[in-house]
Chains A and B, each alone.
Chain A
Amino acid sequence: MKTIYEFIIKELLQLKRDKKMMAVIFIAPILQLILLGYAANMDVEIIHTAIFDQDKTETSREFIRSFEKSGYFSIDYYAESYDEVTELIDKAKTIVTIVIPKDFEKKLNKRETVSIQTLFEGSDGNKSSIALGYIQAVTNRYSQNIVSDIKDKYGMKLPIAGSLVPEVRVWYNPEMKTRNYMVPGIMGLILMITTLSLMSMAVVREREIGTLEQLIVTPLKSYQLILGKLVPFTIVGFVVMLIVMVIMTQWFGIIIRGSRLFLLFASLLFVLSNLGWGLLISTISKTQNQAMMISVFAVMMPMIYLSGFAFPIDNMPQIVQYITYLIPLRYFITILHGIVLKGTGFSSLWPEALILFVMGVGILTLSALRFSKKIE
């Protein structure tokens, strides 16, 4: 027991002495979470719009104003020809260009239907379809106003049939802010990257510098060696988690609705599985360079893309969805979203916690076995 304790102290001292490393480990997460938390925003707040008004009448201007008034559109350009429209779209200056035909006013006065062309720079499919939703809303309202104006003016009775009115209520995140969803996910990412990259280089570094030989000839047993490496990094991971939690609640004002204790417990499980992966990488790589490439390409990138942090797992093809079951971050993010946004507790999140635990213990045992075999 005493030997392990002393070894852990030695590792902690070594970590503490490396000032650059300490700065990178503890300051980077703060900066990253703040920066990325602001950046990770898919809300389409302003739709950059160009107008090609061929009619130039009072009515067409009124139509344009209805877009401006809605608050979602910023009319950046007025095009005078189709060539200009093409250029604006080619250079991706606008998301949408609205083309008002020459006979706009005339047709409306005659009570005919006018077709309005809306040209989207469609390369961002997501943004375009959201923009289309807003444009439909504005034109529908405009149409309704015209119809009711006619009714008022002429006292005409337009036929009315009963209709269904959608009444949509959004739960958990009523403003549908992507930030509330992203910040917990980024927390998970940062925790994963810090612990994994530390651990994956830990053992291979000693081997590369040649100090591993010295450790092996000491009376330390291999499990003691592993514990001595694991404990300091677990502490580091835990502190990082505390830091990012404080930033999430204090800086971004995202309230943790569920139990904080459970959140910390789950992050401990998650850190364990990361350290397990790290140790495994450390035992299979010969150089730090290899360790780094393997951890980035074989572990971090899949974790980032397949965890559902930004790309919904529901949208993925079935085969890829099966692969996501192997990703620890997937479970951790489900737990994070559950506790932070929904306020759900252990009763509905225990399966995820259990899987994290099993994965963590499994991968740690596997890599510890590999490691001790390698030493002997």
Chain B
Amino acid sequence: MFHRILAITKKEFKQLKRDKRMLFIVFFFPVVLLAIFGYAINFDVKHIKIAVYDQDKSEYTREYINGLISSEYFELVTYIDSDAEIKKLLDEKIVQAVVVFPNDLSKKLNDKEDVKVQYLVDGVEGNTANVIVNYVNAATINYSLKLTKEYLAVTGKQSYIPINLEPRFWFNPELESTKFLIPGLMGMILIITAVVSVSLSIVREKERGTIEQINVSPLSSFELIIGKTAPHIVISFLNAAIVLLAGYVLFGVVIKGSILLLLLSTFIFLFAVLGLGIFISSVADSQQVAFQAANITALLPSLILSGFIFPIESMPTIIQWVTNITPAKFYVVTLRAILLRGVGLSAFWEQLIYMMIFGIIFIVLATVVDRKAKAA
């Protein structure tokens, strides 16, 4: 049995080795992509482009605007002089928000009355809009506090603030989103390379008719699958190591937890993913179908359902159930635990079990489908 598996593994390795272009794509692209996307993807809203419609043109408004743009969060694009310009600026995405100061602002402030500062925010990107709203609220409240303090200093009275918040952010004090997203990106790159290469390598034999030759050989379908998958496990594992190394070199994603655990969970993840690949190959007759199936089951789910970008607890309950169709979900949780929080097995062992169950289910399904196909 073992020498037969070994024979098919050797053959597969040789075939892989001969396809230089393929090897180049598999090893080179993930690193390049990680490099570009790692820099590109983040939700850190900075340099919000604003326009100012200042009907008051006073010391107050100038001071307020200076306060805004001296932080790295706001960037003044232009001053405008009419209501009509607001719509054009927001419609054409030239600015993300417009500040409108009413013409009685300084008069009211001098009379110790409250004044409204109007903000018009482009809400198309809900998440960014939310952050902008938080920022402008905070900036305005801070400015008001400053006014109050100045006034109190002049009058010699005291104010009372009952509660003072002391926020502390663990694991990620600067609240950068990049480090949070990189594990998801790694999972996605691995799942695609593994699912695609395994499913195609088996379907190709079907498409070219060489599977018939294998079927009449003494190889059992179990031996065929193991022999075919083994080289892909090796390649995917190398791939994982390269991607992790790139994550460390480029983005300083230090492995806070145990490397051994990381390797173990990556191995289990690859097992689950290859199970999915084998299943696809048992269902599809042509590489075209296999490709579409891999897109549907691996590409978009690992992007959208894995919790990589969109928090799973914000999804409707039914969809939360559906997220279990992608092993990337479990791997992302595991990676974040090991890489970012540096916690031990007790915090994520369930995830490893899920991935194992996932792999076993799909391999069993694949064998069932395969037997039926052969019997037919």
- Assess whether A159 is in contact with B159, with CB atoms less than 8 Å apart: yes
Size of the chain B interface, CB-CB below 8 angstroms: 131
- Determine whether A222 belongs to the interface, using a CB cutoff of 8 Å to chain B: no
With both chains docked as a complex, state the minimum distance between the C-beta of A86 and any C-beta of chain B, in angstroms: 9
Assembled-state Cα–Cα distance A208/B311 (Å): 42
- Determine whether B275 belongs to the interface, using a CB cutoff of 8 Å to chain A: no
- Assess whether A123 is in contact with B180, with CB atoms less than 8 Å apart: yes
On whether A165 and B40 interact (CB within 8 A), knowing A90-B347, A135-B165, the answer reads no
What sequence of 0s and 1s flags, for each residue 89-127 of chain B, a beta carbon within 8 Å of any chain A beta carbon? 011110010000000000011111111111111111111
- Assess whether B200 is in contact with A42, with CB atoms less than 8 Å apart: no
With both chains docked as a complex, state the minimum distance between the C-beta of A115 and any C-beta of chain B, in angstroms: 5
Residues of chain B within 8 A of A146, CB atoms compared: 162-163
- Determine whether A255 belongs to the interface, using a CB cutoff of 8 Å to chain B: no
Number of A-B residue pairs, CB cutoff 8 Å, is 387
Assembled-state Cα–Cα distance A94/B193 (Å): 33
- Determine whether A45 belongs to the interface, using a CB cutoff of 8 Å to chain B: yes
Residues of chain A within 8 A of B115, CB atoms compared: 162-165
Assembled-state Cα–Cα distance A317/B161 (Å): 40
With both chains docked as a complex, state the minimum distance between the C-beta of B204 and any C-beta of chain A, in angstroms: 7
- Assess whether B167 is in contact with A132, with CB atoms less than 8 Å apart: yes
Residues of chain A within 8 A of B192, CB atoms compared: 296-297
- Assess whether A161 is in contact with B148, with CB atoms less than 8 Å apart: yes
What sequence of 0s and 1s flags, for each residue 150-168 of chain A, a beta carbon within 8 Å of any chain B beta carbon? 1000000011111111111
Q: Name which of A24-32, A227-235, A355-363 contacts chain B.
A: A24-32
Task: Name B133's contact: one of A92, A176, A288, A290 (CB within 8 Å).
Answer: A176
Assembled-state Cα–Cα distance A208/B310 (Å): 40
Residues of chain B within 8 A of A48, CB atoms compared: 313
- Assess whether B116 is in contact with A296, with CB atoms less than 8 Å apart: no
Residues of chain A within 8 A of B157, CB atoms compared: 159
The B interface is mostly helix, strand or loop, or mixed, namely helix
**In chain B, what residue has the closest Cβ to A144?**
B162
- Determine whether A21 belongs to the interface, using a CB cutoff of 8 Å to chain B: yes
- Assess whether A296 is in contact with B299, with CB atoms less than 8 Å apart: yes
- Assess whether B341 is in contact with A92, with CB atoms less than 8 Å apart: yes
Residues of chain B within 8 A of A142, CB atoms compared: 162-163
With both chains docked as a complex, state the minimum distance between the C-beta of B52 and any C-beta of chain A, in angstroms: 14
- Assess whether A39 is in contact with B323, with CB atoms less than 8 Å apart: yes
Assembled-state Cα–Cα distance A21/B151 (Å): 73
179-204 of chain A: CB within 8 A of chain B: 179-181, 186, 189-190, 193-194, 197-198, 201
- Determine whether A125 belongs to the interface, using a CB cutoff of 8 Å to chain B: yes
Assembled-state Cα–Cα distance A306/B341 (Å): 28
Q: Which residues of B contact A (CB under 8 A)?
A: 19, 21-22, 25-26, 29-30, 33, 36-37, 39-47, 49, 64, 90-93, 96, 108-131, 133-134, 136-138, 140-141, 143-144, 147-148, 150-152, 155, 157, 159-177, 179-180, 192-193, 196-197, 200-201, 204, 207-208, 284-289, 291-296, 299-300, 303-305, 309-311, 313-316, 318-319, 322-323, 333, 336-337, 340-341, 343, 347
